[in-house]
Homo-oligomer: A and B are copies of this chain.
Amino acid sequence: MRPSNSVRTFTAENTQVAFPLGGIGTGNVSVGARGDLRDWEIFNHPGKGALLPNTFFALRAQTGDKPAISRVLEGPVQPPHNLSHGYHPWSAAGLPRVTGARFSGEYPFAHIDFVDPALPVQMQLEAFTPLVPLDPDKSGLPCAIFTYTLTNTSSEAVQLTIAGSLFNPVGGVAFDAFGNITAGGTGLNTNDFREEGDLRGLRLHSEQYAPDGLLYGDMSLATTHPEVTVKRAWLRGAWYDFLQEFWDDFSSDGLLTDLGYDSPSDMGKSDTCTLGLVDTLAPGEQKAYRFLLTWFFPNRTNSWDNNPGAPLVRNHYAGQFSSSWDVARYVVEHTQDLEEETRRFHIALFTSTLPAYVLDALSANIVPLRSTTCFWLEDGRFFGFEGCFDTAGCCEGSCTHVWNYAQTLAYLFPSLEREMRRIEFVVETGPSGYMFFRTHQTFGSRFVWGWGDQEPEAAVDGQMGSILRAYREWLLSGDRAWLEAIWPGVKRAIAYAATHWDADRDNVLDGSQHNTYDIEFYGPNPLCTIYYLAALRAVEELARVMGEAELEEMARGAFEAGSRRADELLWNGEYFVQRLEDVNAHKYQHGEGCLSDQLLGQLYARILGLGDLLPEEHVRSAIGSVFAHNFKRGFRDHVNCQRSYVLNDEAGLLLCTWPRGGRPGLPFVYSDEVWTGIEYQVAAHLIYEGLVEEGLQIVKAVRDRHDGVRRNPWDEVECGHHYARSMSSWALLLALSGFHYDAARASMAFAPGIPKEDFRCFFSAGTGWGSFEQHRHGPRVQSADLMLEWGHLQLQQLALQPLSRANTVHVDLNGISLAARLHHSGGAVVVEFKQPLDLSAGDRLSIWLAGSRDPLSMNK
């Protein structure tokens, strides 16, 4: 990866940078801004702050007969230096290291330029894990690829060794209060050197655990570089002998001495191993050196917790591979495809005209779906926590009301989203249409939460959102078999809303409405009711697909009545409010408050093409009011007795404010907080309603807060790290591009926001992904290009926004003209192809629209 011009760079001082490597459902290890490996989360649970001892890369370089220079390939250790016993030797903090590191990250690629004037080489590191949208298997490899590119900047040949050292953690690493490595679960650990065709390296395993044990697993550190030097186990000595012996051995001649240990480690102990890549670089020569880190920890408990002793299930990757070495072999054999397809995605996403901070928001929030927030089982079931504690998943159950906000997974890996809907509607929705908003039944366990022994209340927003998301998944896939499987659940779920949350049958919800703020709203309120209106519209559309005209009509009727009634009840002339006689009769209401989430259902309607749920001008006014009242620049005077995510001079969007008074004594919990997941959904909605500048301001504020000093740019926290709600950021791309796709109808649309005249962005459409471009050429000609980069795509029609009055169209596919006709629909100009197109990866569809009969000559 060559970083884009506009991408942010970070230095060692940006201590919060932790860029996660690892695939879907595999866990992660992160790269810090110094080039350090941190947060080892490959053992089926989060591990914020978890370090592996003795684990680092190092370089030894020697020019001619000059003294060799050896350096740890990490930037300077940063303050505070406040450990009770200093830095332990296993941290290698006392070893010479490069003087500087400049980090940039364009997920899934991390790039570091190392700086050290004393060295005769320039050095870069690229680290990534393959990520290919729409291909979860290729994107779910338990591996990380590290490529060091070195250029000899001296006038003599440079002899070099790049060494990767790795502690064998199988069984579990533990430290005593002094920082010494102490008896964890390790023992009988062995590091073997293996060579198999082009692949050579070390496999780190243990003889202590059986393959069906929770702690069973192995790791490999391998390369395809031909000349290697290996130390299978560092000195098993006293005190700090291990590091002294290694460093002396490495720095003396760059060739490692194997110490000849042939027995595995003692119980409670483990070994560190080192793989060195040896080479000579001619003056001016540049060469890449690749390390492959793979892991295989196949087993996890059959539950949301990692309780040892519970029955085990296997990770999805465990069904594909038999060991980390097997993974390494696969990656080496498929490197070209994996790397090339990942780069194609990276280029398609980042060579865009969207602002850098938008690309940042889009790409950084792919992380949650490849973080320990999610897991993926061998049988295909895919699950998500809400987020992560430092060492465990947080808030189990693929919580519907949180995942509601997420769009990223649906567009990049729609098959996994369909699986989530299947679990929700087939497993978790009861005969009455009551839906558990946390999936426990699928694990054979019971959902108990807050209400003690009673059945938990259903979550209105979660349940309505699942219906909307079912429609989204249908649009993207056109998968009829899947829809038929979930359809009975969908119907029961909407019926439950009508019978349980609409006591007075006015199609506006009332009663006790549990929701994503972990409390119940009472009486008519915009969040729940507008969600309901959107769900009614989705049911109407799905009923049409399923040929259930009666239901279609019922849904339409309920929607229309509900929409009118909601507007009467909730509209305050500026935005929508909760109607309660006494806002303090129940704790935790919002009443007259301006709720940032009030129009979340309408945002879904925009994304899914369901139209206005309420009078258009009211919608526009309301979302504008959310921005006007709730977007705050500076929090020094803000009173927040709840959790704090934004501080001091930062900017952010509050969940609720009371610009006209009426704040309850104890307003709903979280009302005074700022959540990135809501900021993105509001920003996207502002953009949809034409308030583009306002939307972008919010996005910029979020990303500015994640500056690597205050927060990790690749970890948006709410109730946990890598919080699922932050995946609402993908809605920004949908809003800014106006992208819409209906697979069953083979109908696609774009309506670019900024800049309309020269626009380029990524799109992902269920079966294929690529880039879309639109340009204005003079006053009467515009062009649009659809480049399919991966997969295939059925296309019958493509809707565009006219930049001027277009009345002629010219279409070609890969340079060959196609017949097409034009019609106008709403504000869009629709290009209808004579024959349905079946685009394949590499295809380029070009469209010229003009106000004259000869657009091409117009352009000259």
Contact = CB atoms under 8 A, between A and B. Distances in A.
Given A80-B15, A81-B710, A241 B666 contact: yes
Which of A237, A240, A712 has the largest number of chain B CB atoms within 10 A?
Answer: A240
A394 B86 CA distance: 14
Nearest to A12: B648
Nearest to A244: B641
Interface in A654-675: 665-666, 669, 672-673
A387 B95 contact: no
Interface in A226-268: 237-241, 243-245, 247-248, 251
Nearest to A710: B79
A89 B248 contact: no
Given A80-B711, A636-B99, A643 B88 contact: yes
Contacts of A647: 76-77, 81, 87, 93
A635 to B, nearest CB: 8
A248 B523 CA distance: 26
A816 interface: no
A95 B641 contact: yes
A314 interface: no
A210 interface: no
B81 A666 contact: no
Which of A79, A237, A247, A711 has the largest number of chain B CB atoms within 10 A?
Answer: A79
Interface stretch (A342-350, A487-495, A614-622, A716-724): A716-724
B177 A669 contact: no
A16 B79 CA distance: 10
Which of A84, A88, A89, A672 has the largest number of chain B CB atoms within 10 A?
Answer: A84
Contacts of A77: 644, 647-648
B89 A643 contact: yes
B177 A645 contact: no
Nearest to A390: B84
A849 interface: no
Contacts of A718: 85-86
A85 B722 CA distance: 11
Nearest to A79: B710
A642 interface: yes
B641 A16 contact: no
A238 B85 CA distance: 41
Contacts of A89: 641-643
Interface in A385-399: 387-390, 392, 394
A102 interface: no
Nearest to A673: B86
A82 interface: yes
A638 interface: yes
Contacts of A394: 84-85, 177-178
A386 B178 CA distance: 13
A91 B248 CA distance: 48
A850 B84 CA distance: 54
Contact of A639 (B48, B80, B96, B388): B96
B79 A240 contact: no
B85 A641 contact: no
A252 B665 CA distance: 13
25 contacts: A76-B636, A79-B709, A81-B711, A84-B388, A85-B643, A86-B717, A88-B643, A89-B641, A93-B647, A94-B638, A94-B672, A95-B640, A95-B641, A96-B637, A96-B639, A99-B636, A177-B390, A237-B666, A238-B587, A239-B588, A240-B642, A240-B669, A241-B587, A245-B666, A247-B641
Given A15-B80, A76-B647, A95-B640, 8 more contacts: A80-B710, A84-B388, A86-B673, A87-B643, A91-B644, A96-B637, A178-B394, A251-B639
